[in-house]
Structure 1
Amino acid sequence: MAFASFDSKSAGAPMSEINMVPLIDVMLVLLVIFIVTAPLLTQAVKLELPKASSQANDLRPDKIEFAIDATGTLYWNGEPVTRAVVQQRFAVEGKKPTQPEVHLRADQNVAYRFVAQTLADASKAGLTKVGFISESEAAH
């Protein structure tokens, strides 16, 4: 690279080369700073960490398969029951520390009154996890 030239044609043209020396100097200074400060950032603290087992906790709640057929007959896990028995069982299940999930299957031809009574009984017993089970239209 020539700083002075006797050629009058290129005397007014700007320099087209980038001076890389200052950039390399800055990069090397930053590298030295990182090399010096990196060991200072790894300060270890002595801790007594708790021990844990690798067994998974199975905290899934129980589930109650509750069904109502087209005639209004109530079924608790496949067993036919009366409304009084259902109210008693809901009361027992509602007092448990982990409430079960109630999966409610109702026939499409059942009167809504039976579904509403079941939901009211579950609510009175304190059960809040009630899910409706249905089939998709593609299954028919």
Structure 2
Amino acid sequence: MAGGPGYGADDRPLSEINVTPLVDVMLVLLVIFIVTAPLLAQALRVDLPRANGVAGSETKVVTVTLLPDHTLLLDDHEVPMRALADLVRQRLTADPDLVARVAADGGIAYQEVAEVIGLLREGGVHRLAFATQQPATEGHPMSRVGR
């Protein structure tokens, strides 16, 4: 049988890798990236409309402060811990988008801060913020701003 196995066939294993399928896949991927790249860049541009004389809505913020002596302040007025939820609930009826900013001294135990957050949640607050300070050390990159 001419042309069958063993007749003139080279018995060596193929030592070359066929790169044609690899090149085909890479070219298809390249075409996909070339087509989609302008679409992605176009989706990122936002041209916001301009309006004169329209005031932005100002979010009302209530500040709850925990002092080092464990005194609780609501907008600079001392309040008992048990009355916090009711006072915040009253403020929420006037402004439903109220944000509560918690400013606790660094020495206050986490448990006490968690209790205040729980009382704020009980009072109906859904938006919380935590007041922090930027470190003012010489090595910090923000310490050179404005010099």
Pairwise CA distance, 1:106: 0.4
User: Helix, strand or coil for the counterpart of 1:137?
Assistant: coil
User: Helix, strand or coil for the counterpart of 1:138?
Assistant: coil
The residue aligned with 2:87 is: 89
Q: Distance in 2 between matches of 1:100 and 1:82?
A: 21
1:32-60, Cα deviation, whole Å (9 max, x unpaired)? xxxxxxxxxxxxxxxxxxxxx94314422
Pairwise CA distance, 1:95: 3.2
Which residue of 96, 101, 104 maps to 2:102? 104
Q: TM-score, normalised by structure 1?
A: 0.55
The residue aligned with 1:38 is: none
Q: Distance in 2 between matches of 1:99 and 1:139?
A: 36
Count the aligned residue pairs. 88
1:80-115, Cα deviation, whole Å (9 max, x unpaired)? 111122121111123345321111110000111221
Pairwise CA distance, 1:119: 0.6
Contact 1:93 1:99 in 2 (8 A): no
- Segments of 5+ residues of structure 2 without an aligned counterpart are 1-50, 139-147
User: Helix, strand or coil for the counterpart of 2:136?
Assistant: helix
User: Helix, strand or coil for the counterpart of 2:126?
Assistant: coil
The residue aligned with 1:61 is: 59
Q: Distance in 2 between matches of 1:110 and 1:75?
A: 14
The residue aligned with 2:122 is: 124
User: Helix, strand or coil for the counterpart of 2:114?
Assistant: helix
Q: Distance in 1 between matches of 2:55 and 2:76?
A: 29
1:106-137, Cα deviation, whole Å (9 max, x unpaired)? 00001112211111111112211110011122
Contact 1:72 1:111 in 2 (8 A): no
Larger Rg: 1
Contact 2:60 2:95 in 1 (8 A): no
Report matched runs for 1:22-61 at 5 Å: 54-61=52-59
Letter in 2 for 1:85: A
Contact 2:100 2:128 in 1 (8 A): yes
Q: Distance in 2 between matches of 1:139 and 1:100?
A: 34
Q: Distance in 2 between matches of 1:94 and 1:102?
A: 10
The residue aligned with 2:48 is: none
